[in-house]
């Protein structure tokens, strides 16, 4: 359950609406370029937790205490980027999955090629 309004969130459109409402309620609007920089920063924090989680490459990965929180921060920031730039995440995800499916069939993998 969502702690803010106790309504279940289980679709990307619902997450986007919830984040938009939160941003508006707390006057957190900012241009998309600022949102992108924030997303990059959050991904960096997640990467730091990954390094901690495998003892900087010396051990098998074990999620840290902060791993889930950092993933949440990345997700929130990505939703903010999408919202600020008018992108429907569900549509964008479907397009990406279609592209990767096509690549698997045509190229044998999801990579964009060499």
Sign of the alpha-carbon torsion through 21, 15, 96, 78: positive
- Specify the CATH number for the domain of residue 28: 1.10.287.1080
Asked if 62 and 53 count as a contact pair (C-beta separation under 8 A), the reply is: yes
What is the C-alpha separation between 92 and 97, in angstroms, rounded?
9
> Is residue 56 in some structural domain?
yes
> Is residue 32 in some structural domain?
yes
The tens-digit pLDDT sequence of the chain (114 residues) is 445 555 567 899 999 999 999 999 999 999 999 999 999 999 999 999 999 999 999 999 999 999 999 999 999 999 999 999 999 999 999 999 999 999 999 999 988 764
> Is residue 1 in some structural domain?
no
Domain count, the chain: 1
Asked if 49 and 70 count as a contact pair (C-beta separation under 8 A), the reply is: yes
């Amino acid at each position: 359950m969502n702690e803010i309004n106790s309504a279940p969130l289980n679709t990307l459109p619902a997450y986007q609406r919830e984040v938009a409402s939160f941003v508006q309620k707390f006057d957190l609007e900012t241009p998309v370029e600022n949102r992108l920089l924030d997303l990059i920063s959050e991904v960096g924090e997640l990467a730091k937790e990954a390094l901690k989680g495998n003892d900087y490459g010396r051990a098998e990965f074990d999620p840290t205490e902060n791993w889930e929180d950092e993933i949440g921060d990345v997700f929130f920031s990505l939703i903010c980027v999408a919202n600020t730039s008018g992108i429907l995440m569900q549509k964008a995800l479907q397009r990406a999955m279609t592209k990767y499916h096509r690549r698997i069939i045509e190229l044998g993998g999801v990579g964009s090629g060499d």
